Amino acid sequence: MSNRLSPFLAVMMALGFAFLYGPIASVIVYSFNASRLVTVWAGFSVRWYGELFANEQIMRAALTSFEIALMSATGALILGTATGFVLSRYRRFIGRYFFGALVTGPLVMPEVITGLSLLLLFVAMEQLFGWPRGRGISTIVIAHITLGMAYVSVVIEARLSAFDRSLEEAALDLGARPWKVFAVITLPLIAPALVAGWLLAFTLSFDDLVIASFTTGPSATTLPMVIFSSVRLGLSPQINALATILLVVVAAFILISARLVARTRRSAGS
């Protein structure tokens, strides 16, 4: 048997990739277009990148998104790690399976439902205790934490279930107290998984439109919201430039986190 593809399979693969990545490629190509019209090629230019960085509305939204992603990824990391520990270390407690299902629920929940229910919760809470006062960055961060921690807990649980407990016992046996063991043995060994989880939560938060739209208020506009609303008013090549930058950043993040997850797998085997 040869390893060469049959012509049929090769064509199908080319079509498949074209369907998946053709639109993305065209966005990148047209971001370097000199023309204002998005569909007409008029020569290479980086003009739209310059205009993009001069666009105050977009820059402010990017900063807001960055701020939200930073806070919610950190919050999701802390809560998700705690949850991952409970799921992998405490094998027996009443309602463990129910707890596990609840934790991973947000992974499969439609975003519209998550967004809507959180909005209703925030409104009700404001009426009952006067907090959160209005909606904005803080409510989006809370909403993104609930989504991000589900992903983080799955990553951490997977890492911990491959973790050799005798390493922790050995450290304990050699005189390290439990917190010291966590700091010098457990934490360094699961660090790649922690970074991967954080990056994942960051990416999820940064490009989320639906949940953010539900839970935001007049004070906070995130980058995806600006893009979405500006597209409705008519395409600007600036958006193409922005999309290209985002694509590069997100791809870099995902590549790094995938690498880290792969490395944890390998070191878990030793």
Interacting residue ranges for another protein, rule: CB under 8 A: 164, 166-167, 169-178, 180, 185, 188-189, 267, 270
Q: Least Å distance between CB 179 and another protein? A: 11
Closest by Cα among 190, 117, 192, 187 to 147: 117
Return the number of the residue (121 or 176) whose C-beta is nearest another protein: 176
Q: Least Å distance between CB 199 and another protein? A: 21
Among the residues of the chain, which ranges form H helices?
A: 7-31, 47-54, 56-89, 96-108, 111-129, 137-161, 165-173, 178-181, 187-206, 210-215, 223-232, 237-269
Q: Which residues pair with 44 in a beta bridge?
A: 33
Return the number of the residue (54 or 169) whose C-beta is nearest another protein: 169
Return the number of the residue (19 or 179) whose C-beta is nearest another protein: 179
Q: Least Å distance between CB 134 and another protein? A: 47
Cis peptide before 188 (omega within 30 of 0): no
| Residues found in the chain | 270
Return the number of the residue (171 or 220) whose C-beta is nearest another protein: 171
Q: Least Å distance between CB 182 and another protein? A: 13
**Cα–Cα distance measured from residue 117 to residue 129, given in angstroms and rounded to the nearest whole number:** 18
Contacts of 116 by beta carbon, 8 Å cutoff, 6+ apart: 214
Q: Least Å distance between CB 209 and another protein? A: 40
Return the number of the residue (96 or 164) whose C-beta is nearest another protein: 164
